[in-house]
Structures are given as C-alpha cells and as structure tokens.
Structure 1
Amino acid sequence: MTNERKGPWTVLSKKDVYDNPWIRLTHHEVLTPAQTPGIYGLIHYKNIAIGVVPIDSEGHTYLVGQYRFPLGAYSWEIPEGGGAHGVDPLQSAARELREETGLVAGHWRKILECDLSNSVSDERAVAYVAWGLTQGEAEPEATEDLAVRRVPLAEAFRMVSAGEIRDALSVLSLQAVQILQLQGKLDPRDPA
C-alpha cells in the first residue's frame, strides 16, 4: 500500500501498465476526495509539447499538414513537436521549426505556456511566435510525411474559427497571436 496524498486524493497503490519512449500510463487505486474507492489513470508525457507560429515579413505564417494516426484524419497545424524535459524549450522550438519547414528564425517571443489536458495527463506545452525568417531545407523525421503551406495570418485565424485547424496547441497559439494583434502588440513585420 502506498497511501500517498495528492491534494484531497489518497493513492492506495499504483502500477505502470504501459511505457514507451513518449508516454507512460499508470493505473492508480485511490480514495477520492469524498473518501470513496476509485481508480485513476494517468498518462505521463516524457516530452514538452512545443509549437511555433512563424510570421514572415509579409504577414504570412506557415502551416504543416500531416495525417494524425490517433484521429484517423489529416490535420493542419502550426510547426510543432516535442522537446525533452531539461532542454530549453526555445532550443526545441528552433529545432522543430527547422525540421518541419526549413525555416530559421532570428527573433523569438514566448506566447503561451499551459497544461494541455489536465484530467488524465500531465502534458505541458510552450509556444512561440518567430520572425526574421530565412528559408533553408526541411529535415522531417522518418515517421513524418509533411506538407507545408504559407498562408496569410488572417487565413490561419479564419481556419481556426471555421474548425479547419483543430489541434489544441495550434488553436491556442494562433488565438494568442490574434489577441496580441488585436491589442496592437503584434506587428506582422516585426512582432517584438
């Protein structure tokens, strides 16, 4: 018996039921806050979710399209991926941007830091806006079959509103950029 307290919850026992390089699933036998027996499954993410909204000098951004296995559907998203815990998230963001689009940014600004799904997972996310872009060669991972689209920032905002962009990190990041723009704190030519 563990009898470990987690806020108002009591963990009676826990057992790792699945583990791979990206996630670990742990089954917990618990006493709920009402002190009734229950269970809780927790997905631990071994990386931080990283996202980038690159904006070029003409006010366009870059979206990455790919088939998402868990959804069984194609998805348009901002450039994103995972960054190892203990590594500066900005370093991971620069790597993801370069790998997926070939873009290298001269300037960065953090626009978002959040928990993505706090009911069953501990996944954290960090997102940036990037500008001062230069184009290089994309280097996607072997598991990625990506398409890249350059669209006006306003088109990306429209795609979010229309439900054409549904990925949570992309939606949150693009809405954060849109709010900055509406507040006059984001000039697409120089988002500093």
Structure 2
Amino acid sequence: MEARKNEVMNKYSNPWKTVSSKNIYTNPWLSLREDQVIRPDGQPGIYSVVETRIATGVIALTPEMDVYLVGQYRYPTECYSWEIVEGGTDDEETALAAIKRELQEEAGLLAAKWHNLGGKIHISNCISAEVARLFVATDLSQTQSAPDGTEVLEVRVEPFEHCLQMVERGEITDAMSIIALLRLEQEVRRGGWEQFF
C-alpha cells in the first residue's frame, strides 16, 4: 500500500525545477514573471507566467430562470462578447465582495442570496496562475449601475436554456461564462432550481 501511495505521489509531483525567478513587468492588473527552469526532460529553459488577482463571475438568476448577460467588446480578442457578470478582486477584497461590487457596477443589481458554484477554476493554466471563483445570485433587486470607464456595456436577460444554446452555437465563448452555465446545469440536475431560491 505504501509503495502505491509513493507511486501516486511521484506521478503527480512537480517535474519542473525552478532555478531562478524575476519579475519582468507589473501593472495594476497583472504581472509577468519569467522563471529559469530545468524542464522535465532535464534541459534548461524559461517559463513565463502571468499572475493576476482572483477572477470572479456570477450568474444573476431570476425566479423565471432567466440570466442577466453583459455584452461588451473585448480588446484582447478583438470581438464582442456576451458573458455573465465578471470582474476581478481589488486589493484585500474577497471573491464574494468583488462579485457583489461587479454585479452592481455592471448590471445595476443587488442580490439577497448568494450561492457558491463549485471550487476554484484555473482559467488558462498553461500561461497563467489566474484563479476564478463562480457564484449564483438570486433574490435580485435593481439599483444604479456604475460601469468602469473602460466598459461600454449592454445588459440583456435571456432564459437559462437559451444561454445553454448560445454556448452550443458558439455565441458565448468566454470560458468563465461557459463553465458557470454548465456547472449550474449540473447543480439543477442534482438538486432542482429550488436550492437557489
């Protein structure tokens, strides 16, 4: 039994050796680190890692099982994107506090009930250490929105089933939105809609 445990531990242990690390670039939203490494094949190399704050996303859900989507132009991908409400944490801010703020800023909504939608997610783990946390918000009420100066947003409400169809048709391409919608679909299959209201 002990030999099997060691075999499993070795199988999943880190095959990379970090020789040195240096920060290449930093701005208020991210930093780029470059590591000198010994690769799994024993050869020297470099590995660059983007580090960010925690990413957050929320499915704002009505009693009719409609979802608030936010549309905006995404500069890096050079395309318009329909997404759930998303954002990042500020300094010393929890993921829940951040997404409550983002829900109000982007969609003009407050929520009385919050549900964690699974554990952490690694968004792009081949180049980034970014971690995301997802939530479902219900018992919604309207308030004033206050988007950031970098955001030109359109908010629309779509039936949950239509959102899943948008994923299937490739109309929703944002990874956090897709993961959140599919996780919610699984949760509903297991426990029904009542668990969220």
TM-score norm. by structure 1 comes to 0.90
Q: 1:99 and 2:80 equivalent?
A: no
Decide which of 12, 37, 46 is 2:19's aligned counterpart.
12
Give the superposed CA RMSD.
1.6
The residue aligned with 1:191 is 196
The residue aligned with 1:69 is 75
The residue aligned with 1:3 is none
Q: What's the CA shift string for 1:141-167, capped at 9, x where partnerless?
A: 111000001111111111111111010
138-147 or 15-24, which deviates more: 15-24
Map 1:100-115 to 2 at 5 A: 100-112=106-118, 113-115=120-122
Decide which of 18, 27, 35 is 2:34's aligned counterpart.
27
The residue aligned with 2:189 is 182
Ranges in structure 1 where 5+ consecutive residues have no aligned partner:
1-5
**Which is helix-richer, 1 or 2?**
2
Aligned length: 184
User: SS at the partner of 1:183?
Assistant: helix
The residue aligned with 2:4 is none
Q: Does the CA-based 8 Å contact 1:177-1:186 persist in structure 2?
A: no
The residue aligned with 2:134 is 127
Identity %: 39
Q: What's the CA shift string for 1:90-146, capped at 9, x where partnerless?
A: 111111101000110010000032111111110000010010000111110111000
The residue aligned with 1:38 is 45
86-95 or 125-134, which deviates more: 86-95
Q: 1:55 and 2:61 equivalent?
A: yes
TM-score norm. by structure 2 comes to 0.88
Question: CA shift at 1:34, angstroms?
Answer: 2.3
**Which is strand-richer, 1 or 2?**
1
Decide which of 148, 161, 181 is 1:154's aligned counterpart.
161
Distance 2:192 2:98 in 1: 25
The residue aligned with 2:3 is none
